[in-house]
Amino acid sequence: MSLSRLCISRPVGTIMGVVCALVLGLFALTRLPVDFLPRIIYPRIFIGIDFEGADAKVVEEQVTKVVERELATTQGLVRIISRSREGAARIWMFFDFKRNIDLALQDAIQKFNVARRNLPDEIQAELQNTRIFKSDPAQVPIIEFALSSKTLRGPKLQTWARKVLIPQLMIVPGIASVEAFGGQGEEIQVLVDFLRMQGLGLNLPAVLRRIRSENMDMSAGRVKTADREYSSRTAGKLRNKEELRNLIFPTQDGRLVSLRDFAKVEERGRERRIFVWLNGEESIKVVALKQPDSNTITVVDGLKARMNFLQRYGIIPKDISLIPISDQSFFIRSSIRNVLASAFVGGLLAVTVVILFLGSLRRTFIIGLAIPVASIFTFFLMWMGGFTFNIFSLGGVALGVGMLVDNAIVMLENISRHQDKGENPVESAVAAAKEVESAMVASTMTNVAAVLPFLLVSGYVALLFRELIVTITFAFLCSLFVGLTVVPMLSARMLQLPMTSGIGRFPLFRFSGWLVERASAAYRFILGPALRVGWLVIVLALGLCSSAYFLIDQLGNELIPQVDDGRVTVGIRFSPGGKLEYTKKVTLRIHDMLLADPEVDKVFATAGGMLYGRNFSASASRARIAVNLKQGVGVFDYLKKLRPRLARLEYPDARIFAYKSRVRGLRTSNNRHNRSFSLGVRGEDLTVINRLAEELVDRLQGIPGLNNVQVNEDRPRPEFRVEINRQRAAELGLSVEDVGDTVSTAIDGSVATYLNRLDRRVPVRVKLADTEIRSEQDLENLPLFPPGREPTRLGHVARVRYGTGSSTIARMDQYRIVQVTGDIQDRSIGEVGQDVRARIAGMEIPRGYFILPGDDEENLRKSNRELLILALLSIFLVYVVMAIQYDSLVNPFVIIFAVPPALSGALFGLYLTGTPFGSTVLIGVILLVGIVVNNSIVMVDYIERLRGEGMELREAIIAGASVRLRPILMTTLTTVFALIPLALGWGQGSEMLQPLGIVVLSGLSLSTLLTLFLVPCIYYLAQKGVARLRSWVGLAPREFSPSR
């Protein structure tokens, strides 16, 4: 017994099955995590190494190279990138997508431990706090606030944030971390009076050592008594500022003096190197991160509710302001709302098409029911598969809305045709369902077969779109289940009712019915002559298809579409060595200019470095301004107006550029920058590399669509280099450490120790009072304190020279590299890449130096190549499924001819809408291959059935194609109309899926139009050819089974 017959005979069981599906789907819907992107673990590992006090070149030679050599042997590694800067090394490891990232992390830790054991002991001790972790988009902040106050200033606001605010927010369910950046930290400063210290016979290195050694607790072992055992320790920790003032120092003449006798101990704010403003108000940045499996929207709502609670009960004072500057939940809500709106509007349009064709409320209800039932049960399958409610998985539902009714339409249209002949409703439902079951199964299996190869590949595109592909497959299977169960059961039962709405008598529905009949008659009239000139029809149709392929070269190329999330970033860079005061001045002026723009909602400015997520980097020559636009203002249109305004600003030594902020957590290349264009200059000599990089920047200026071209790394920075004469220093009893401590203390002060205050440690910084270093002469006149000798000057034991030092040394695959980056707008990466190669073609590059293309363009070529192979494999699998279904090689060959017109239609659609060719387009092509053959399957299946009943070939083709015209038009129009909202790209976040909608809509439209004539002609000629071939080899004519 077939499934349809079983459901028709057991209506109560069928209804209960549907109810169970709805309940399970709604249950899953309430538990699906909501996020913007799917759960993605990128195959990359980060290693953060701190090596305080070391120059960038020293870090590179003594740490980075040693660690890189060992890490390079890690299995599955495809790229290793490092950055060495003063006091730190950062290493990024990128792995093959097939590599298990958890095992790779274990291997990386083992390799690092091996590398550390090969380092000198003093360096090994410095690397105890190394951080190693894998990349996870969940580590990106879900919300960021600007914290400001009118009464709490300086370190008081930072302390309040860490003591009061952060502990209160950490209790919100789903929160992993809350951190505050950009404020002024606490600090206790010991301001040493040089002359008084000298008069007491003390020297600076001795003072530093004394403060360090006097502030510690030491374990003293176990004390065993007769009946117990006690641990013991020497309690020597300084408890407060007063104890520090009273610290005892022995002098050379045997006296005891206190720290207060030659120094002032004051509590001050730490020197600020990063300044933050929101809409002109000096602020602190507070970021919140969620736990990996938490729901972003729920966690953000919980945070806001907690802050409202704290404000209501006065825990957050009224003068303290907490304003969101970046809220992922807002963009997620907006994007998902727009996708759902597209799905809802598409569903309404599909139902409208159905009611116009059928002119019956009951039949429309039966078909319309397929959309919610199949969609809701799809949510249950998504939950079982561990998916999230994100723009890609919802995109799969939105893409499938129009196709969810295809199976229901085919089933109901055939049942209605039988019932219109006056047959018994139940018997006609059973007979009609039996006729189309095989065609429905075949068409759904071709859809599944078309997308199956996509699950076999890896890469960034596969990570992003896998949930979309699987979700739409779930939707196809659910629609088949509904079409085989619910539709025939409801058709058999509901159409028995004698009462009718009479809607079919309305003029609009009578006209639509008349129009369909006339179209069917005209089609039948034209099809007969078309079969007589079949070869001409085939040549004309394929010729039209071929013309579309000349458009490929005129389409641009992109990996994935850019998303308008309403955020713009303005970057400001000065030459290294620029003063922080000048950086602040320029930043605030640009900030004020942007804030006065009526299209701007919020302006968040950072001067003196960068705050990105939970990371920060201090640099006096850098600033960044994040601009949030008002709703309805397009990012790309705003950038076109903003860039000329910034170009007209005249600030000496300032490089100002604006670009669209990338979606956080979204990565498409094995690189650490977030720009859409890059080139790399590889070599060994930093001077030569930087010269070539600057020449590249000059050559690439003025390329249409390429903006903000710049060297990504900082230029060499100016520095004073103190070169110590070791012999003279040794004669005076001074070590390199003594000299270094003195120089460091005189310039910035030296952190000698820390005082513990409940939940925090406060640094104690020792400085020389009233000492300012402004020149080489000031450094040379710096006093030194040889033990047992008269003070001397630094110039007596060292030379001070002016020079330049590397701010940062970048390496890729164990070679030094400098990257040139830029932003692409209004053109595709492929078009810009062609112009770039033309500009640098004549560039003279020294031997041993190379210009490397950026990852985005290479990934685009690789992704397009893989997806093109997948498209061909999809066509092959679709053919295999149909061959098995029909037990024939000829019919699948006929049906597959629906694909070339579809591909041509897709190209025409891309060309007319100006959509670049890329990964999302090719995914649309893969989906399209499985969809467009459905109409041909329905047509050929019925023609075969008529021939099995004894009808002659030509008559069977004309009759079968004419009968199947109405369901073909209905399924095509419901799918096309349902895709219109998605293809138009309504609202934020829709840009990612718009190319898919355009490809399927335009491809299906042209394919249907042409295959109505192309497939019958090819079928006719193919069957005639097969008959001649069988006759020629002496076989009997093919026999048709009436049951087929």
Q: Are residues 874 and 1021 in the same domain?
A: yes
Q: Are residues 874 and 983 in the same domain?
A: yes
Assigned domain for 835 exists: no
Q: Which of 254, 255, 263, 171 is nearest to 208 (CA)?
A: 263
Residue 592: burial class (beta carbons within 10 Å; 0-12, 13-18, 19+)? middle
Q: Which of 48, 46, 50 is nearest to 127 (CA)?
A: 50
φ and ψ at residue 1030, rounded to 5 degrees: -65, -40
Question: What is the number of structural domains in the chain?
Answer: 4
Q: Are residues 520 and 434 in the same domain?
A: yes
Confidence of residue 1042 (pLDDT cuts 50, 70, 90): very low
Assigned domain for 272 exists: no
Reported pTM: 0.78
pLDDT surpassing 70 at residue 285: yes
Domain hosting residue 784, numbered range? 194-217+232-261+718-805
φ and ψ at residue 847, rounded to 5 degrees: -65, 135
Establish how many alpha carbons lie within 13 A of residue 137's alpha carbon, considering only the half-sphere containing its beta carbon: 20
Which DSSP string do the residues of 218-260 spell out, in sequence order? Answer: EEEEEEE-SS-EEEEEE-----SHHHHHT-EEE-TTS-EEEGG
Q: Which of 460, 464, 462, 555 is nearest to 830 (CA)?
A: 555
Q: What angle do CA 896, 900, 906 make, to 5 degrees?
A: 125
Q: At what angle do helices 965-984 and 994-1032 cross, to 10 degrees?
A: 150
985: left (phi over 0), alpha (psi -120 to 50) or beta: left
pLDDT surpassing 50 at residue 1044: no
CA 766 to chain centre: 46
CA 891 to chain centre: 43
Please identify, among 135, 154, 170, the residue that sits at the C-terminal boundary of a domain: 135
Q: Are residues 500 and 625 in the same domain?
A: no
Tens of pLDDT, residue by residue over 825-865, are 777 777 788 888 888 888 888 888 888 887 776 777 777 77
Please identify, among 662, 684, 705, the residue that sits at the C-terminal boundary of a domain: 662
Assigned domain for 680 exists: no
Question: What is the rounded CA–CA span in Å between residue 421 and residue 427?
Answer: 12
Q: Are residues 389 and 412 in the same domain?
A: yes
Assigned domain for 957 exists: yes
Contact 628, 331 (CB under 8 A): no
Contact 273, 183 (CB under 8 A): no
Assigned domain for 160 exists: no
Assigned domain for 345 exists: no
Average pLDDT rounded to a whole number, residues 99-111: 89
Q: Are residues 903 and 1028 in the same domain?
A: yes
Question: What is the rounded CA–CA span in Å between residue 469 and residue 38?
Answer: 12
Tens of pLDDT, residue by residue over 16-54, are 988 998 899 889 888 888 877 787 777 889 888 887 667
Q: What is the CATH number for 783?
A: 3.30.2090.10
Q: Are residues 865 and 777 in the same domain?
A: no
Average pLDDT rounded to a whole number, residues 758-781: 79
Q: Are residues 633 and 578 in the same domain?
A: yes
Which residues are bridge partners to 268 per DSSP?
187
pLDDT of residue 616: 65
Please identify, among 662, 681, 697, the residue that sits at the C-terminal boundary of a domain: 662
Average pLDDT rounded to a whole number, residues 338-347: 74
% of the chain residues with pLDDT over 70: 93
Average pLDDT rounded to a whole number, residues 732-741: 82
Identify the residue with better confidence: 829 or 101.
101
Q: Convert 112-124 to b/e letters by CB count within 10 Å (16 or more is b).
A: beebbeebeeebe
Q: What is the CATH number for 931?
A: 1.20.1640.10
pLDDT surpassing 90 at residue 590: yes
Q: Which of 847, 983, 829, 961 is nearest to 905 (CA)?
A: 983
pLDDT surpassing 80 at residue 591: yes
Average pLDDT rounded to a whole number, residues 813-824: 86
pLDDT of residue 599: 92
Q: Are residues 884 and 916 in the same domain?
A: yes
Retrieve residue 626's tokens.
């994040």
Q: Are residues 430 and 505 in the same domain?
A: yes
Q: Which of 388, 363, 564, 410 is nearest to 969 (CA)?
A: 410
Q: What is the CATH number for 620?
A: 3.30.70.1430
Question: What is the rounded CA–CA span in Å between residue 1002 and residue 1023?
Answer: 30
Q: Are residues 499 and 416 in the same domain?
A: yes
Confidence of residue 664 (pLDDT cuts 50, 70, 90): low
Question: What is the rounded CA–CA span in Å between residue 617 and residue 232?
Answer: 42
Retrieve residue 62's tokens.
């003594």
Question: What is the rounded CA–CA span in Å between residue 170 and residue 483?
Answer: 50
Q: Which of 275, 279, 274, 285 is nearest to 146 (CA)?
A: 285
Q: Token pair 């041909």 is at which residue?
A: 936
Assigned domain for 833 exists: no
Assigned domain for 713 exists: no
Q: Are residues 381 and 481 in the same domain?
A: yes
Confidence of residue 372 (pLDDT cuts 50, 70, 90): confident
